[in-house]
Amino acid sequence: MKAKNDKKTIWAWCMFDWANQSYNMVITSTIFPAYYVFYTTFQNSSPNHDKVTFFGHEFVNTVILTYVLGAAYLLIVILLPILTSIADYRGNKKRYLQFFTWLGALSCAGLFWFKPVQTGIPALELPLIFYALACIGYCGGFVFYNSYLPQIATDDQMDNVSAKGFMYGYAGSLVMQLLCLVVIEDPRLFGLKEEIHQALPERMSFLLIFVWWMGFSIIPFRLLPKSEPAPGKHNYNVFTGGFKELARVFKKIQTLPLLKRFLSSFFFYSVGVQTIMLVAANFASKELHMPDDTLIEIILSIQVVGIIGAWLTAKVSGKIGNVKTLVGLVSIWTVLCLLVYFISSTPQFFVAAIVVGAVMGGVQSISRSTYSKYLPPNIPDTASFFSFYDVTEKFAIVVGLFTFGKVESLTGKMRDSALALDCFFAIGLILMVVLMFAENKANKEVLVVA
Does the residue 234 lie in any domain?
Answer: no
Angle, helices 292-320/31-39, rounded to nearest 10 degrees: 140
Does the residue 166 lie in any domain?
Answer: yes
How far apart are the C-alpha atoms of 210 and 223, rounded to whole Å?
21
Does the residue 102 lie in any domain?
Answer: yes
If pLDDT is split at 50, 70 and 90, which confidence band does 170 have?
confident
Length of the chain, in residues:
450
Q: Are residues 278 and 415 in the same domain?
A: yes
- In order of 38, 136, 331, 418, 423, the CA distances from 335 in angstroms are 30, 32, 6, 11, 11
Does the residue 232 lie in any domain?
Answer: no
Say whether pLDDT at 9 is over 90. yes
Highest mean pLDDT among 158-172, 242-256, 293-307, 408-422: 408-422
Q: Are residues 159 and 285 in the same domain?
A: no
Number of structural domains (the chain) is 2
Q: Are 35 and 199 in contact (CB under 8 A)?
A: yes
How far apart are the C-alpha atoms of 68 and 129, rounded to whole Å?
8
Q: Are residues 222 and 358 in the same domain?
A: no
- Give me the percent of the chain exceeding a pLDDT of 70: 91
Judged by average pLDDT, the poorest of 65-69, 117-121, 300-304 is 117-121
Res 149: pLDDT: 81
Res 380: pLDDT: 62
Does the residue 392 lie in any domain?
Answer: yes
**H/E/C letters for each residue in the chain?**
CCCCCCHHHHHHHHHHHHHHHHHHHHCCCCHHHHHHHHHCCCCCCCCCCCEEEECCEEEEHHHHHHHHHHHHHHHHHHHHHHHHHHHHHCCCHHHHHHHHHHHHHHHHHHHHHCCCCCCCCCCCHHHHHHHHHHHHHHHHHHHHHHHCHHHHCCHHHHHHHHHHHHHHHHHHHHHHHHHHHHHHHCHHHHCCCCCHHHCHHHHHHHHHHHHHHHHHHHHHHHHCCCCCCCCCCCCCCHHHHHHHHHHHHHHHHCCCHHHHHHHHHHHHHHHHHHHHHHHHHHHHHHHCCCCHHHHHHHHHHHHHHHHHHHHHHHHHHHHHCHHHHHHHHHHHHHHHHHHHCCCCCHHHHHHHHHHHHHHHHHHHHHHHHHHHHHCCCCCCCHHHHHHHHHHHHHHHHHHHHHHHHHHHHHHCCHHHHHHHHHHHHHHHHHHHHHHHHHHHHHHHHHHHHC
How far apart are the C-alpha atoms of 317 and 298, rounded to whole Å?
27
Q: Are residues 176 and 291 in the same domain?
A: no
pTM: 0.87
Q: Are residues 200 and 315 in the same domain?
A: no
Q: Are residues 158 and 279 in the same domain?
A: no
Highest mean pLDDT among 75-84, 244-253, 395-404: 395-404
Say whether pLDDT at 365 is over 80. no
Q: Are residues 184 and 215 in the same domain?
A: yes
Residue ending a domain, among 199, 227, 255, is 227
Residue-wise pLDDT for 89-120, tens only, equals 766 788 889 999 999 999 999 999 998 877 67
Res 14: pLDDT: 93
Res 382: pLDDT: 66
Tell me what the mean pLDDT of segment 341-356 comes to. 91
Q: Are 352 and 299 in contact (CB under 8 A)?
A: no
β-strand partners of 273: none
Residue ending a domain, among 196, 227, 258, is 227
Q: Are residues 176 and 299 in the same domain?
A: no
How far apart are the C-alpha atoms of 87 and 98, rounded to whole Å?
13
- Give me the percent of the chain exceeding a pLDDT of 90: 46
Question: Which domain, by its residues, includes 115?
Answer: 1-227
Judged by average pLDDT, the poorest of 135-149, 185-199, 209-223 is 185-199
Does the residue 32 lie in any domain?
Answer: yes
Q: Are residues 155 and 278 in the same domain?
A: no
Q: Are residues 104 and 61 in the same domain?
A: yes
Q: Are residues 259 and 366 in the same domain?
A: yes
Does the residue 202 lie in any domain?
Answer: yes
Say whether pLDDT at 157 is over 60. yes
* Domain harbouring 69, CATH code: 1.20.1250.20
Does the residue 235 lie in any domain?
Answer: no
Residue ending a domain, among 171, 200, 227, is 227
| 448: Cβ contacts below 8 Å, ≥ 6 apart | none
439, 14, 450: which is closest to 220 by C-alpha? Answer: 14
Res 75: pLDDT: 95
Tell me what the mean pLDDT of segment 119-139 comes to. 92
- Within a 10 A sphere around the Cβ of 186, how many other Cβ atoms? 11
Q: Are residues 10 and 159 in the same domain?
A: yes
